[in-house]
Structure 1
Amino acid sequence: MQNGQRSHSTIPPLRFSVFLDPTHQIYLRWDHDEESSLMTFDLQAQSTGWVAFGFTNHGEITGADFVIGGVLPDGNIYFSDWHGVNEETILEDESQDYELLSLTQDDTSTTMTFRRHFRTCDKHDLDITSDTLRLITGYGTDDTIDFFKGKIIHKSLFMMVFSNEDELHSPSVYHVYDLKLNDFPIPVDDTTYACTFLPLPIVKQKHHIYKFEAMITPRNETIVHHILVYGCGNASVLPSGVSDCYGGDPDFALCSQIVVGWAVGGGSYMFPDETGISIGTPLDAQWVRLEIHYSNFNLIPDLIDNSGIRLYYTPELRPYDMGVLQTGLFTFPIHFIPPGAESFMSYGVCNTSLFDEMNGTPVPDMHVFGYLLHTHLAGLGVRGVQYRNGEQVTIICEDNQYDFNLQETRGMKKEVVFKPGDEFLVECHYQTKYRTELTFGGPSTLNEMCLAFLFYYPRNNISSCMGYPDIQYVAHQLGQEAADAMEGMMAINLVEWDNETIKTAEKACKEADQIVMIKTIDELLRNETGFVRDIVDAEPPPCKDISTSMPGLQPEGQAKYQAAPPTVTSKALSTKGIFPFPALLFIPLGFTWLLASSQSRL
């Protein structure tokens, strides 16, 4: 084994891990320290050449922020902080803001352990936030760093995870129960919503569901878009068989109290020790509606599906029963997004003033501990904001770099208490600059949604609280006549869309009064009113500089690698210009500080 530098005698255990590629060649472990705002990474690649890891904006090399490291044949190590100049050029940072902890290599793999602050003071470093992060990682076959010819992998990942299953209480006795379709032939259609009604486990005494996970039929992973389980009121008369959820038979759309939900990219989820989903009491749902959304855009024939949700339940009860509140913008028919929009915001308000009355008894404080955010392909970001007495309390949940392919239930660092009378606003950020037609809210992946599912305890009877703007007001602001909501939506189709009308529509949708629709598990529906309040953005944390600057290194001397060498100048050096010996290893100038440091310790 060739051992590299280790700057710390011990490296703390890292709680979270994932393979970054489908062939399991690159394995990442990580953890974060909120107090010091440091994140520690441990990357293992099945390569004895150079290894790279970092962050990008939407998968682009331009503006990417990453480290490259490895172990040379003589045992010396190299490690340095880089950024992407454009899609053909990478440049070593003057400010080195990643701190190497360990770099080792054996006969088959290289392992690199390092850390950095969430927010550094280097303009070339991307912030590590609670958004979905786009990772870039890769490796070469040897230590000749030919970055653009290496194996480069992109992956979206949420890294601000606050606990894993090992830190939660797993019951000593548990049972498993599957809710799934059986040999369902997926239609040759771009969008299908298949629904069926299934019983929950029959138990003689109260149990708690404490964990759930999706079961996706192999080879259908790219087809199954989401799976939702809705609890049914015990007085409901339910149909049998499998049918279109929102087709000709309205009975297949019955039951609206979400029990659990999974969407593409999500994994298993275990509830906090304080709570679980109650089953087995007279107040609990006995039947559920299983809804599976298929997106068969390639019109693949002869697909058979047995996907569903696996529930884990236990007689070892938790202190509280949990519930899920669906919030956001009511999907159909009011929601629209203009074509050609670089940026467009949509809003849905939840006004809880009727909660006590509709619940039948006073609603206790809701302790929100997790969330799932949902838009379709035009979505760039989602956030949910809590207000009390007209003042913003906090941003409960947000993802400003939303990825349609990574929709997962996320736990919160600290529970948020939601009191009766509070308001909740969901804001969705869209981009339709390559679309030429209006995008409407609807079930298809090519339609749009703007939803936030809040996981909370103790459970009440409210299933959803969603708003939509007064469309007549919006139409009038766009110069159209509309006597009612239907005419308002028809008038939206008459608008000539350009930058001015897009901004007018966005402003009108925010200014308009909102109609708030509140529904209970027993399908009781009431309307309330609300309006969109301003959102106060949180101040970013101060940057922290643990830079290891390179003394005497001028911009002209920075190592620079380009896919195709340009004309060499003093400020744009190609690899060949810096290292004219093609048979030798490519070791950038900026690595010299670490090589020297390494040699002094060996």
Structure 2
Amino acid sequence: MACTLPFGLLLLTVLAAPSQGSRQGPASRLRYSRFLDPSNAVFLRWDFDLEAEIITFELQVRTAGWVGLGITNRYTMVGSDLVVGGVLPEGNVYFSDQHLADEHTLEKDGSQDAELLGLTEDAVYTTMRFSRPFRSCDPHDQDITSDTMRVLAAYGPDDTLQLDRERMFVKSIFLLQIFHPDDLDVPENTIIHDLEITDFLIPEDDTTYACTFLPLPIVSEKHHIYRFEPRLLDHNETLVHHILLYACGNASILPTGISDCYGADPAFSLCSQVIVGWAVGGTSYQFPDDVGISIGMPSDPQWVRLEIHYSNFHNLPGLYDTSGIRMYYSAQLRKHDMGVLQLGFLTFPIHFIPPGAESFRSYGLCKTEKFQEMNGAPVPDLQVFGYLLHTHLAGRALKAVQYRNRAQLQTICKDDSYDFSLQETRDLPHRVEIKPGDELLVECQYETLDRDSLTFGGPSTVNEMCLIFLFYYPRNNISSCQGYPDIISVAHELGEEVSDSMEGAMAMNNVEWSPESIRVAEKACKEVQQTVIIKTIDEIVENMTGWIPEIIPTPRGPCLESWGGKVEPQDETPAGFRAAAPMPLSASGTATLSHIPLAALLFGQGAFSWLLATLQAGV
């Protein structure tokens, strides 16, 4: 629906300088760019100053009318900010910082926090360039953060400011990308190597995990892999959900062919140390200039397990696929050999999420005190430089928090606006050091208002996961460190009498889910003892126990006041983007709880699929 607004009230600030064919303000190169609409008529460029916390946008639209750009949220456009501008027929420009008072009405902000840098119109395009602070003092301005941002673009065919759904577009973008590939070194004598499954007939099932084992490039001396990208066929719909490469221990006895990763043959689930990961919405990724994946040395893996998750929701027959990972490597060595540490909630049906939950949080604990013992050699401090976040469709937010000596140090990485359709490897603005003995906690937040049955942890897209992959150096042999709560105690808190873990998971189907029981379940899952499972590249597994610490929120940074702006009471004493002072962890009792046997965790012979089917059926 379109709604015409009073011209005099909405075109607002008219600048007397003619702009036809000219540009106001700086025209420096903006490193990042993206089309925001399916027809490629709306093009966005942007860049930012991380220290000054200022971002610059340039919006170019195929129109002779007004254009607008802002930030919205997942659920509604009401409250979205929108900076609008255009060029009048006589050549004067107008520009204003506004917000959506409702779905059809724009209102001028009391504080004008966007600075116009240029507005031009030619025979094809209207182009608007402006800058704004990451966080202004105007409550009508959405913050620019390191979360996924939902960028809103709108435009009109003329200078009558009019909102029309057909000319409004929202796209999820990670705006604060630290490195642009063009800014990174490209080594000389680069070699390309593809690891892929070829002409694979995708089963007529909603979920398929296809695995095969492939050799890494054979080289006579050490090389570094410095970049990877997905190799995807263009289908009519998204079929490939994720692609993972797992490094295999050199003593592993590996099967041949292609099979279900987690089906009847447990050998196809061997190798658990992730070295490269791609998921829906991701693109290529190049490591920082001082790190790479080492190949060619005796201690380096020689084989990998290639895992491709297909989601054929419409059960389409006769679909063949060739997908995988393309690697770029070179003999031009980098300073550090990198590794990947997998954290989170062990992917297992003990992970449950109630239906009808506006918010439900799950936790996975990692304790690093046994890393050195399991590694078989001293473990240097880990220097974390990047991360990949992963949940399925119910996921709304994730974070990894670091603790040392029972005090919270910092949030390593997070996304409070997670979007399943935009999963990509991201760089940290500053490298994070993890010392042996530190604890790492992953928190995942879910929303299931559209579901009327339990969601269990599992491999299907309609199941759930709670995973964070940390990219670090120097590499060690630890592949994963994940946790899960004592489900027997959780069931008892919900009034269910159970005696073993399997019975505890199945008992969740008996609970009458309401806001109150959802709250009780979330609290119980957080307060009971966790079992921590640590695994190495050689499939050595150790169990530990621990308790979930409290997460102390990080204070918001200071807002930047502009003319006409007002400082809100909570912003009068800016705290900055720094972690709160260390506080002691909370303990949640001392009882010794029973744990799931390791054999039950490994699921061999298809038990994983059987258990999920049983739980979903409510047997």
TM-score (norm 2): 0.86
State how far apart, in whole Å, the 1-side matches of 2:433 and 2:103 are. Answer: 46
* Contact 2:207–2:310 (Cα < 8 Å) also in 1: yes
State how far apart, in whole Å, the 2-side matches of 1:230 and 1:149 are. Answer: 44
**C-alpha displacement of 1:115:** 0.8
Q: Give the unaligned 5+ runs of structure 1.
A: 551-602
Deviations 1:202-256 (A, max 9, x none): 1111100000011110126611110001111111111111111111111111110
1:288 and 2:304 correspond: yes
Describe the SS at the equivalent of 1:210: strand
**C-alpha displacement of 1:49:** 1.5
Which residue is equivalent to 1:367?
383
1:425 and 2:434 correspond: no
Which residue is equivalent to 1:217?
233
State how far apart, in whole Å, the 2-side matches of 1:90 and 1:150 are. Answer: 17
Which residue of the other structure, out of 377, 394, 397, is the alignment partner of 2:393?
A: 377
Which residue of the other structure, out of 532, 536, 539, is the alignment partner of 1:520?
A: 536
State how far apart, in whole Å, the 1-side matches of 2:140 and 2:195 are. Answer: 48
Which residue of the other structure, out of 132, 137, 140, is the alignment partner of 2:156?
A: 140
Which residue is equivalent to 2:472?
456
Describe the SS at the equivalent of 2:150: strand
* 2:485 alignment partner AA: P
Matches within 5 A, 1:330-349: 330-349=346-365
1:192 and 2:208 correspond: yes
Which residue of the other structure, out of 471, 482, 491, is the alignment partner of 1:466?
A: 482
* 1:509 alignment partner AA: C
Which residue is equivalent to 1:445?
461
State how far apart, in whole Å, the 2-side matches of 1:308 and 1:149 are. Answer: 38
Which residue is equivalent to 1:126?
142
State how far apart, in whole Å, the 2-side matches of 1:123 and 1:192 are. Answer: 46
Query: Relative to 1, partners in 2 of residues 1:220 and 1:315: Cα closer, same or farther, differing over 3 Å?
Result: farther
State how far apart, in whole Å, the 2-side matches of 1:142 and 1:193 are. Answer: 51
State how far apart, in whole Å, the 2-side matches of 1:23 and 1:195 are. Answer: 36
* Contact 2:104–2:163 (Cα < 8 Å) also in 1: no
Deviations 1:447-472 (A, max 9, x none): 00000000000000000000001111
State how far apart, in whole Å, the 1-side matches of 2:235 and 2:527 are. Answer: 46
State how far apart, in whole Å, the 2-side matches of 1:472 and 1:547 are. Answer: 58
Matches within 5 A, 1:218-257: 218-219=234-235, 222-257=238-273
**C-alpha displacement of 1:397:** 0.4
Describe the SS at the equivalent of 2:160: coil
Which residue is equivalent to 2:183?
167
1:98 and 2:114 correspond: yes
Query: Relative to 1, partners in 2 of residues 1:392 and 1:374: Cα closer, same or farther, differing over 3 Å?
Result: same
Which residue of the other structure, out of 560, 571, 576, is the alignment partner of 1:544?
A: 560
* Contact 1:5–1:77 (Cα < 8 Å) also in 2: no
**C-alpha displacement of 1:282:** 1.1
Q: Give the unaligned 5+ runs of structure 2.
A: 1-17, 567-619
Which residue is equivalent to 2:610?
none
* Contact 1:59–1:135 (Cα < 8 Å) also in 2: no
* Contact 1:61–1:85 (Cα < 8 Å) also in 2: no
Describe the SS at the equivalent of 1:346: strand
Describe the SS at the equivalent of 1:307: strand
Mean Cα displacement is larger for which, 304-313 or 451-460? 304-313
1:393 and 2:409 correspond: yes
Describe the SS at the equivalent of 1:386: strand
State how far apart, in whole Å, the 1-side matches of 2:561 and 2:373 are. Answer: 54
Query: Relative to 1, partners in 2 of residues 1:548 and 1:170: Cα closer, same or farther, differing over 3 Å?
Result: farther
Describe the SS at the equivalent of 1:182: strand
Query: Relative to 1, partners in 2 of residues 1:548 and 1:163: Cα closer, same or farther, differing over 3 Å?
Result: farther
**C-alpha displacement of 1:264:** 0.3
Describe the SS at the equivalent of 2:229: strand
Mean Cα displacement is larger for which, 488-497 or 336-345? 488-497
State how far apart, in whole Å, the 2-side matches of 1:83 and 1:4 are. Answer: 29
Which residue of the other structure, out of 416, 420, 424, is the alignment partner of 1:408?
A: 424
CA RMSD of aligned residues (A): 1.6
**C-alpha displacement of 1:489:** 1.1
* 2:49 alignment partner AA: D
State how far apart, in whole Å, the 2-side matches of 1:46 and 1:252 are. Answer: 51
State how far apart, in whole Å, the 2-side matches of 1:198 and 1:36 are. Answer: 47
* Contact 2:243–2:277 (Cα < 8 Å) also in 1: yes
**C-alpha displacement of 1:259:** 1.0
1:70 and 2:92 correspond: no
* Contact 1:374–1:450 (Cα < 8 Å) also in 2: yes
* 1:312 alignment partner AA: Y
Which residue is equivalent to 2:132?
116
Which residue is equivalent to 1:107?
123
**C-alpha displacement of 1:547:** 3.8
Which residue is equivalent to 2:69?
53
Deviations 1:344-397 (A, max 9, x none): 110000001110110001111100000000111111100000001111111000
Mean Cα displacement is larger for which, 295-304 or 245-254? 295-304
**C-alpha displacement of 1:69:** 1.2
Which residue is equivalent to 2:341?
325
Query: Relative to 1, partners in 2 of residues 1:299 and 1:547: Cα closer, same or farther, differing over 3 Å?
Result: farther
* Contact 1:464–1:518 (Cα < 8 Å) also in 2: yes
Deviations 1:130-185 (A, max 9, x none): 11011111222222322225521110001111111122221012100111111111
Which residue of the other structure, out of 547, 551, 554, is the alignment partner of 1:531?
A: 547
* 1:408 alignment partner AA: E
Query: Relative to 1, partners in 2 of residues 1:149 and 1:370: Cα closer, same or farther, differing over 3 Å?
Result: closer
State how far apart, in whole Å, the 1-side matches of 2:470 and 2:298 are. Answer: 24
Query: Relative to 1, partners in 2 of residues 1:196 and 1:489: Cα closer, same or farther, differing over 3 Å?
Result: same
* Contact 2:118–2:130 (Cα < 8 Å) also in 1: yes
Query: Relative to 1, partners in 2 of residues 1:371 and 1:549: Cα closer, same or farther, differing over 3 Å?
Result: closer
**C-alpha displacement of 1:2:** 4.9
**C-alpha displacement of 1:22:** 3.3
**C-alpha displacement of 1:7:** 5.3
Which residue of the other structure, out of 20, 25, 47, is the alignment partner of 1:3?
A: 20
* Contact 1:386–1:425 (Cα < 8 Å) also in 2: yes
**C-alpha displacement of 1:402:** 0.3
TM-score (norm 1): 0.89
Which residue is equivalent to 1:559?
none
State how far apart, in whole Å, the 2-side matches of 1:301 and 1:66 are. Answer: 45
The total of aligned residue pairs comes to 549
1:31 and 2:47 correspond: yes
Mean Cα displacement is larger for which, 203-212 or 143-152? 143-152
